[in-house]
C-alpha cells in the first residue's frame, strides 16, 4: 500500500488563492493536483493516468494491463475487500473515487491486480490484490464484465474481443463408448464473476460432447454455479452406481492448489482424499483454471488416477477463448469457452469421430489395461497441441499456448510408469 502527495498537494493548491493555476500545465514536472474539495472524476482520472500508472513496474515493462473506474464517488466509511481469499479489507476514510487495475486482463483468476482510491484532495492509495473487489458487500458489474464498456476503461494497452464461435454440436457415426462410465461436468463461476459467459459456453461444449460420447448405461452429471461445490459428493454417488472410470471436467477460477466452485474453495488435497477412498475406481481430471498444474503434483501419487490434463502450469494463468491475439490467428476460431478445454474437446472429437483412429485408441487402452476414455483424453491432449501427425492433428489449437501464455500439462499413468 502507498500513501503519497497529501502534504504536497495541499501546499500547491493554496496557490489558487492568488489566482495561480494548480497542476502541471507549465511543464514544471509537478505532480497532477486537484482543487481542494472540488475533485471530480476527471481530476481523479488525471491523477491515475499521470501519477500512478507510469510507476507500476508491469506497465513500465510493457506488459498487458487494463484500468477500469467507477463513475460515482464512494463515501467515507465504504468497506472494500477482495471477493475471494479475504487477504485484503479496508474502509475509506474520505470520499473517494475507485479504480481497478487488472494486470492480466482477460485471464481466469487468481492474478495480480491493484485497487486504487483517489480522494477529493487528490491523495491516492494503491492496494495490491489478486481478485476483483467487493464494495459494501457487492461486486460492481462494470469491473467484471467479460468485455468492459468503453466508458469504464480509463487506460489500457490491450483490446478484449468477443469470441466469434458458438458451442459445438457433436455427432458420432457409431457410438464410441460401450462401458458404463461416469462424467461430472462442472462450471464453477457465479454470474457476478469475471468470464462467466466464457465458462458457460465451455460447460455447454463439454456437456454436448460427453452426452454424444457416452454409452446408454453411462451417467453424466452437470454441476453449475452454487451446485459446483457438490462435486465430491457426486463422486460418491457415481461410485455407488458402479460407474468406472469417472471423468471430472472442470472450468473455474483457481488459485494456488485450489479451485473456487460456487464461491467455495476446494483444495487439490480434497480431491486426492476423495479419490483415495475408492482405490478400485479409476479417475480422470480435465481442468481449466489458473495454477491448475498443481493438481498433477498432488493427484499423480494415487495409483487409481489415470489421466490429468490441465490448462496451464502451477505458476501460470488459464485463458478464455482467443481468436486473434498479438497478430496471430487461432487455427479453430469456431470454438468457444476456455481456450484450452475447447481445444482439447475438439481434438478428442476428431479422434473419436473417426472409426480408424478410435480403433487405435481402443487398442492402446487394451494393451495398457486402462479404459478407452483415459487414452482418448491423453491422446486428445497431444493432438490439441498439434503433436499427432498420424491422426492428422498437426496444428496447435491452443492460441494461448502458441503465444507462450499458458502451457497445458499432462499426466498419463501408463506412460509415466514406463
Residue 333 is predicted with a pLDDT of 85
| CATH number, domain containing residue 299 | 3.40.50
pLDDT for position 172: 79
Mean pLDDT confidence for 109-136: 93
Residue 175 in domain: no
Model confidence at 173: pLDDT above 80: no
The answer to whether residues 256 and 199 belong to one domain is yes
Tell me: pLDDT of 9 over 60: no
Q: Is the pLDDT of residue 41 over 80?
A: yes
- Residue 188 pLDDT exceeds 70: yes
186/60 same-domain check = no
Residues 210 and 295 in one domain: yes
Residue 81, domain extent:
2-156
Q: How many domains does the chain contain in total?
A: 2
Write the pLDDT tens digit of every residue in 388-406: 999 999 999 999 999 999 9
pLDDT in tens, 287-341: 999 999 999 999 999 999 999 999 999 999 999 988 888 788 888 888 888 999 9
pLDDT tens sequence across 269-293: 999 999 999 999 999 999 999 999 9
Q: Are residues 56 and 21 in the same domain?
A: yes
Kindly report the pTM of this predicted structure.
Answer: 0.85
Tell me the average pLDDT across 218-238: 97
Does 165 fall in a domain? no
More confident residue, 204 or 19: 204
Shared-domain flag, residues 254 and 397: yes
- In this structure, are 208 and 348 located in the same domain? yes
Same domain, 186 and 140: no
For residue 354, being part of any structural domain is answered with yes
Q: Is the predicted pLDDT of residue 363 greater than 50, yes or no?
A: yes
> How confident is the model over 74-94, as a mean pLDDT?
90
Same domain? For 324 and 192 the reply is yes
> Is residue 364 domain-shared with residue 407, that is, in the same domain?
yes
Average confidence score pLDDT of the chain? 87
Q: Are residues 397 and 284 in the same domain?
A: yes
376 and 239 in a common domain? yes
Same domain, 233 and 91: no
Q: Report yes or no: 119 and 102 within 8 Å, Cβ to Cβ.
A: no
Q: Is the pLDDT reported for residue 167 higher than 80?
A: no
**Residue where a domain stops, chosen among 156, 190, 219:** 156
Residue 170 lies in a domain: no
Of 102, 121, 156, the last residue of a domain is 156
Amino acid at each position: 500500500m502507498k500513501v503519497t502527495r497529501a502534504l504536497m498537494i495541499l501546499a500547491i493548491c493554496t496557490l489558487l488563492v492568488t489566482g495561480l493555476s494548480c497542476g502541471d500545465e507549465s511543464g514544471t514536472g509537478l505532480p497532477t493536483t486537484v482543487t481542494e474539495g472540488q475533485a471530480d472524476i476527471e481530476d481523479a482520472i488525471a491523477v491515475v493516468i499521470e501519477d500512478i500508472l507510469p510507476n507500476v513496474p508491469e506497465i513500465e515493462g510493457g506488459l498487458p494491463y487494463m484500468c477500469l473506474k467507477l463513475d460515482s464517488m464512494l463515501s467515507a466509511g465504504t468497506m472494500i475487500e477482495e471477493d475471494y481469499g479475504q487477504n485484503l479489507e479496508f474502509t475509506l476514510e474520505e470520499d473517494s473515487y475507485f479504480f481497478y487495475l487488472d494486470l492480466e486482463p482477460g485471464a481466469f483468476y487468481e492474478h495480480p491486480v491493484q485497487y486504487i482510491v483517489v480522494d477529493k484532495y487528490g491523495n491516492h492509495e494503491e492496494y495490491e490484490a489478486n481478485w476483483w473487489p467487493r464494495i459494501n458487500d457487492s461486486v460492481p458489474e462494470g469491473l467484471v464484465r467479460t468485455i468492459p464498456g468503453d466508458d469504464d476503461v480509463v487506460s489500457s494497452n490491450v483490446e478484449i474481443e468477443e469470441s466469434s464461435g458458438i458451442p459445438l454440436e457433436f455427432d458420432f457415426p457409431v457410438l464410441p463408448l460401450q462401458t458404463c462410465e461416469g462424467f461430472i461436468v462442472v462450471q464453477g463461476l457465479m454470474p457476478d464473476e469475471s468470464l462467466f459467459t466464457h465458462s458457460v459456453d465451455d460447460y455447454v461444449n463439454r456437456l454436448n460432447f460427453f452426452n454424444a460420447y457416452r454409452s446408454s448405461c453411462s451417467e453424466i452429471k452437470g454441476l453449475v454455479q452454487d451446485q459446483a461445490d457438490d462435486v465430491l459428493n457426486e463422486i460418491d454417488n457415481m461410485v455407488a452406481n458402479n460407474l468406472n472410470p469417472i471423468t471430472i471436467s472442470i472450468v473455474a477460477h483457481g488459485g494456488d492448489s485450489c479451485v473456487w466452485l460456487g464461491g467455495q474453495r476446494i483444495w487439490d488435497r480434497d480431491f486426492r482424499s476423495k479419490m483415495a477412498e475408492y482405490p478400485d475406481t479409476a479417475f480422470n481430471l480435465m481442468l481449466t483454471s489458473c495454477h491448475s498444474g498443481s493438481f498433477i503434483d498432488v493427484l499423480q501419487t494415487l495409483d487409481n488416477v489415470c489421466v490429468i490434463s490441465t490448462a496451464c502450469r502451477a505458476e501460470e494463468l488459464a485463458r478464455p477463448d482467443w481468436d486473434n491475439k498479438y497478430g496471430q490467428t487461432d487455427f479453430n476460431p469456431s470454438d468457444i469457452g476456455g481456450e484450452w478445454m475447447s481445444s482439447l474437446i475438439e481434438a478428442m472429437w476428431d479422434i473419436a469421430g473417426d472409426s480408424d483412429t478410435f480403433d487405435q485408441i481402443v487398442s492402446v487402452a487394451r494393451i495398457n489395461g486402462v479404459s478407452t476414455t483415459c487414452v482418448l483424453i491423453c491422446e486428445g491432449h497431444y493432438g490439441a497441441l498439434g503433436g499427432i501427425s498420424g491422426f492428422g492433428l498437426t496444428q496447435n489449437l491452443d492460441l494461448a499456448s502458441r503465444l507462450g501464455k499458458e502451457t497445458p500439462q499432462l499426466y498419463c499413468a501408463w506412460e509415466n510408469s514406463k
